């Protein structure tokens, strides 16, 4: 029997020729990631082990991004713990404010995660890197500590679900809509501890930015990881960034899947996730008219250059509705700079938006965009749980950058073709 791409990556890192779903294995790691919320806890656990060095100074990545720029004394102290640790132990990849970004946009951009890698990160959206054909998954801070010390982690090999997308993509449909539709179909626990493998003719034509969006939200269906086998689009992205060799894996034709689901995208329209779960989805035509107080464009899900380009194309020459606060968060400093050079930032500001330095702040209700009681926001982020972006009696709707931009113009949830 053959193996899926996820099985092959795990087998290679476990030193085995074959691994089966349910098997417990110990694997060598290519990257261990932490941020300003999770890394300080991991560092404390690491120090309890009595360690005075990490397993590899070039395979640890520390990114303060959740509460940066530091919003208060506590968040400043969290970042200082990371900064001091990186300096003391010689960790090469520490990204301070000014050269940083939202971690799941930054690591691919910097060529630190590559096809065939096995990556753990103390952040649930570490699964983003599966868009490059890597096995990437979120872990707790104690697993991060052990990973920093030993360069290894144990896994239960997950079963895989194959999602096949076919048909012609309508205008305005995006990777965000595909993954929201999928989560709406299978539910927030429909892929619990499973590998979500995205494939089909639509995926083979999908841009790398859209692929990142899909892999990013695998965790919102309970997935252990989301993955898209590397192809020419992947190679084009990584070849100019990679600083080390990498391996491309493909699923075998006779690989075994727990389930196979197929979607005809030609029949889809942009998708909205209503409060308070990503599975609570409706097509935009059934959501138009919901009034809003705030729109957020950005995050590790949709803060990349293509996302900003789409939003800017709709906002060009138009104004944000006077009762709407539109916040734009580029994913990294480089994305910010590229958007600036292309005129997108000017477009946003002229339309009445505020453009922020890269941060996770508003996505998790941390800072720079908190909702008050009774307020409604539409966001290109990945979660809309109760109280996710502020007051527990506020509401968050999830959508693509195109829908977000159109809605910011109209002041209510709006299809992009209506502006």
Read off the pTM: 0.94
Q: CA–CA separation, 205 vs 178, rounded Å?
A: 13
pLDDT of residue 364: 85
Q: CA–CA separation, 384 vs 377, rounded Å?
A: 10
Low pLDDT (below 70) residues in the chain: none
Place of tokens 């689901």: 261
| Domains of the chain in sequence order | 5-262 (3.30.499.10), 272-414 (3.30.499.10)
What are the pLDDT digits (tens) for 26-36? 999 999 999 99
Place of tokens 């919003």: 71
In a 10 Å sphere around its CB, with 0-12 CB exposed, 13-18 middle and 19+ buried, how is residue 401 labelled? buried
What are the pLDDT digits (tens) for 275-310? 999 999 999 999 988 999 999 999 999 999 999 999
pLDDT of residue 346: 97
Structure tokens at 105: 């946009």
What are the pLDDT digits (tens) for 167-209? 999 999 999 999 999 999 999 999 999 999 999 999 999 999 9
């Amino acid at each position: 029997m053959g193996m899926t791409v996820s099985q092959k990556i795990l087998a290679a890192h476990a030193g085995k020729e074959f691994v089966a779903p349910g098997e417990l294995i110990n694997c060598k790691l290519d990257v261990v990631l932490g941020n300003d919320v999770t890394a300080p806890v991991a560092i404390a656990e690491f120090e309890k082990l009595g360690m005075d060095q990490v397993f590899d100074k070039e395979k640890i990545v520390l990114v303060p991004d959740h509460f940066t720029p530091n919003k208060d004394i506590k968040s400043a102290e969290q970042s200082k713990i990371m900064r001091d640790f990186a300096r003391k132990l010689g960790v090469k990849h520490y990204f301070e404010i000014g050269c940083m970004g939202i971690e799941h946009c930054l690591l691919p951009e910097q060529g630190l995660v590559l096809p065939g890698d096995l990556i753990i990160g103390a952040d649930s959206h570490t699964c983003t890197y599966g868009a490059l054909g890597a096995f990437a998954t979120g872990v707790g801070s104690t697993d991060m500590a052990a990973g920093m010390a030993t360069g290894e982690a144990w896994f239960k090999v997950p079963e895989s679900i194959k999602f096949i997308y076919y048909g012609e993509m309508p205008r305005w449909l995006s990777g965000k809509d595909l993954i929201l539709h999928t989560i709406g179909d299978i539910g927030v626990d429909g892929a619990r501890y499973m590998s979500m493998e995205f494939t089909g003719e639509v995926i083979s034509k999908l841009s790398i930015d859209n692929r990142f969006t899909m892999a990013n939200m695998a965790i919102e269906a309970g997935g252990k990881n989301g993955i898209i086998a590397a192809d020419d689009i992947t190679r084009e992205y990584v070849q100019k960034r990679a600083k080390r060799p990498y391996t491309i894996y493909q699923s075998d034709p006779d690989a075994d899947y727990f389930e196979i689901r197929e979607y005809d995208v030609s029949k889809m329209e942009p998708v909205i996730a209503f409060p308070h779960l990503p599975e609570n989805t409706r097509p935009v035509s059934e959501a138009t008219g919901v009034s809003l107080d705030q729109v957020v464009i950005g995050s590790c899900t949709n803060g990349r250059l293509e996302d900003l380009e789409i939003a800017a194309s709709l906002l060009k020459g138009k104004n944000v509705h006077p009762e709407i606060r539109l916040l734009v968060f580029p994913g990294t400093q480089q994305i910010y700079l590229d958007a600036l050079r292309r005129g997108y930032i000017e477009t946003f500001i002229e339309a009445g938006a505020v453009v922020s330095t890269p941060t996770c702040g508003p996505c998790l209700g941390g800072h720079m965009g908190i909702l008050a009681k009774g307020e409604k926001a539409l966001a290109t982020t990945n979660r809309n749980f109760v109280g996710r972006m502020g007051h527990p009696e506020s509401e968050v709707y999830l959508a693509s950058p195109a829908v977000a931009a159109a809605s910011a113009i109209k002041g209510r949830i709006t299809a992009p073709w209506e502006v």
